[in-house]
Structure 1
Amino acid sequence: MPTSAIDSKDAAAIQAATAEVAVCDRSLWGRIRVGDDDRLRFLHNQSTNDFQKLKSGQGCDTVMVTSTARTIDLVSAYVLDDAVLLLVSPSRRELLLQWLDRYIFFADQVQLTDVTDETATFSLIGPGSDAVVEKLGAGAIVGQAYGNHITIDDGAIVAVGSGLASPGYTLILPVAQKQQVWQKIIELGVVELSDRAWDTLRILQGRPAPDAELTDDYNPLEVGLWQTISFNKGCYIGQETIARLNTYKGVKQYLWGIRLNAPAAVGDTISIGEEKVGKLTSYTETPDGYFGLGYIRSKAGGVGLKVQVGDSEGEIVVIPFVSHEYP
């Protein structure tokens, strides 16, 4: 969805998320509980990251891909004592439930439960979020690795990682606690970040979204989600294609940020002179100007490249959420 010029409230919230701390209610996102004895092996075989090495209290981001390694969704996974909790994009909840269910075979001990309606999710975003989680009683998580999480007294899971490239935390809590915890966070002086401001921030930082950057047209290497991919874990759906692309340096296009001098529209052609080199996939306006995300052919170049985007001129810039080399 294209995002038009943001209002002053959203601009202030984005500034808070960058310099201090903001909170975003992400309860519309899907939450799928994967239970029973084969849960880690099952998720290991269905997505790009290495679940077999994860212990309770740890977590990771992973990409669900098709058999030809096309992207379905970027998922955050949290390993609990008796289950794995998946945080999935709002538009992918039903699709992923059906998709995962299709791969549970007769002998598999795996149970899928949609727990979206009985839970809520908040993201604390920004450098000031450490102080907030300490006041929520989750100070023990500060300084731990990405995806690590603890459960606090009210049953809330507090995990390292904001869902964006900014520092922060993700809270998943029983829906009965939602209002009380939200109020406590707001009373601590945390600024509310709307869904619209979240989308602007995710575009500025390069977090890919379904139906925009995550579609049947792209694979995880083109997106730049190296941190979600294990190259030595063995077979999984889409693994052969991803391994081949990596081994033979076969990535033909990459996702980049594009700083624009004028408005543009999602779907606009990105070109250099008369040559088409890519397509704009997301677009937003901010007080600092116009910005988009787009896939650009590898051979065309990278950072600093000047391009035409529809009727606008653009320059390719780094986006912090993704990377175009193995970390």
Structure 2
Amino acid sequence: MNQALRDVQATAGATFTTVAEIEVPNSFGNDVEALNALQTGVVLHDRSHWGRIQVAGDDRIRFLHNQTTNNFQPLQPGQGCDTVFVTSTARTIDLVSAYVLADSVWLLTSPGYNQPLIQWMDRFIFFADQVELRDLTDTTVAFSLIGVGSDALLQTLGAGAIVGQPSNYHLVTNLGGIETRVAVGCGLAISGYTLFVAADQSAALWQCLTEAAAVPMGEQVWQRLRLEQGRPAPGQELTDDYNPLEAGLWYTISLSKGCYIGQETIARLHTYKGVKQQLWGVKLSQPVAPETPVLTNGEKIGILTSCTQANDHAIGLAYIRTKAVQPGLKVQVDETEGELIAVPFLSHEYP
């Protein structure tokens, strides 16, 4: 556990929860303030529990190109992409963000997926492959700055060179004298950045950012934002039951890059318009347990995968039969009324 960081957060009012065996702030007692800050300023979220993997060796780009859905070949140091690890039948494993460095590629995985993905990749490293995998989760920390004020905050701290760059672009800079890798994108379809720092510098960076007016935000608000935005999560929306097209992750898929694990299935689904279900947002009058069927006119059209309270209503994600999809469609989930809504993180065709 990163005790110095936890002490700084506890002083700011944090209560903690454990995610993927890592203790992180659940709330700072300021959930309403944090939600408001997204619209008017910037929030700071601790993503210590998200996995961080270094992929090194001369064959690293070719290897990741062949293992995941996006196109790594054109990427140069300082660039990156979001990509999906899938099985041979294109079932989803995890959505990750990849950052290309001069001598390696860093992967930001979902919470608890650092070791499973290392084990998965290791299965495909053959004797002659020059690929080395290293788990950086214990030695680094990731934060996200999220909100309309994130550009201004970084400019104030002297990191204005990152502002206006494309998604996943990244560079190393000093924030308050602390060496930090800053990447465009916060894991949601909201303006923001992801910051990587050595674990022993994380408490100092957290303090620097909050002193610069970033409002601390806990995991409780993140989970609400995840559902309002529509970001799918492993074990809920990303499982052996679904593929990336169904999961609304079309932007992570290259149709032109050639062979990779799961490519034949994805190409066939696209060519023959075989996507039979789609991930959509669902607005409900009250929370409902995941795995509850979604009905319309008494007919099952899908299944709820996640749900949480959001002000005077609940918000969830659900896989819906493609032929039944219609934004605003009235649905019944258990005894609760709701409607399908589009969510900004997901797309259902190529951008």
Q: TM-score range by the shorter chain?
A: over 0.9
1:318 and 2:318 are equivalent in the alignment: no
Which of 134, 156, 174 is the equivalent residue of 1:113? 134
Which of 227, 233, 247 is the equivalent residue of 2:251? 227
Name whichever of 129-138 and 290-299 sits farther off.
129-138
* Deviation string, structure 1 residues 161-199 (Cα, Å, up to 9, x no partner): 011111100001111210111101000111111011111
1:25 and 2:52 are equivalent in the alignment: no
1:160 and 2:184 are equivalent in the alignment: yes
Partner in structure 2 of residue 132 of structure 1: 153
Separation (CA, whole Å) in 1 of partners of 2:331 and 2:286: 13
Partner in structure 2 of residue 90 of structure 1: 111
Which of 105, 112, 125 is the equivalent residue of 1:104? 125
Partner in structure 1 of residue 232 of structure 2: 208
1:176 and 2:209 are equivalent in the alignment: no
Separation (CA, whole Å) in 2 of partners of 1:77 and 1:37: 17
| Partner-residue secondary structure (3-state), 1:223 | coil
| Partner-residue secondary structure (3-state), 2:339 | strand
Report the AA paired with residue 217 of structure 1.
D
1:197 and 2:204 are equivalent in the alignment: no
Shift of residue 8, structure 1, vs aligned partner: 6.5
Separation (CA, whole Å) in 1 of partners of 2:83 and 2:126: 22
Shift of residue 135, structure 1, vs aligned partner: 2.7
Q: What is the root-mean-square deviation in Å for CA atoms of aligned residues?
A: 1.4
Shift of residue 22, structure 1, vs aligned partner: 0.4
TM-score by length of 2: 0.90
Shift of residue 302, structure 1, vs aligned partner: 2.1
Report the AA paired with residue 204 of structure 2.
Q
Separation (CA, whole Å) in 2 of partners of 1:100 and 1:312: 42
Shift of residue 7, structure 1, vs aligned partner: 9.6
Contact 1:304–1:317 (Cα < 8 Å) also in 2: yes
Shift of residue 235, structure 1, vs aligned partner: 0.4
Identity %: 59
Which 5+ residue runs of structure 1 have no aligned equivalent? none
Answer 1 or 2: higher relative contact order, Cα 8 Å, separation at least 6. Answer: 1
| Partner-residue secondary structure (3-state), 2:295 | strand
Separation (CA, whole Å) in 1 of partners of 2:40 and 2:310: 16
Shift of residue 265, structure 1, vs aligned partner: 1.2
Contact 2:28–2:216 (Cα < 8 Å) also in 1: no
Separation (CA, whole Å) in 2 of partners of 1:35 and 1:286: 42
* Deviation string, structure 1 residues 22-77 (Cα, Å, up to 9, x no partner): 01000111100000100000000000000011000001100000000000000000
Task: Provide closer, same or farther for how the CA distance between residues 136 and 7 of structure 1 changes in structure 2, counting only shifts above 3 A.
Answer: closer
Partner in structure 1 of residue 31 of structure 2: 10
| Partner-residue secondary structure (3-state), 1:222 | coil
Name whichever of 196-205 and 259-268 sits farther off.
259-268
Separation (CA, whole Å) in 2 of partners of 1:58 and 1:286: 35
The number of residues matched between the two structures is 323
Name whichever of 172-181 and 242-251 sits farther off.
172-181
Structure 1 stretches of 4+ moved >6 Å: none
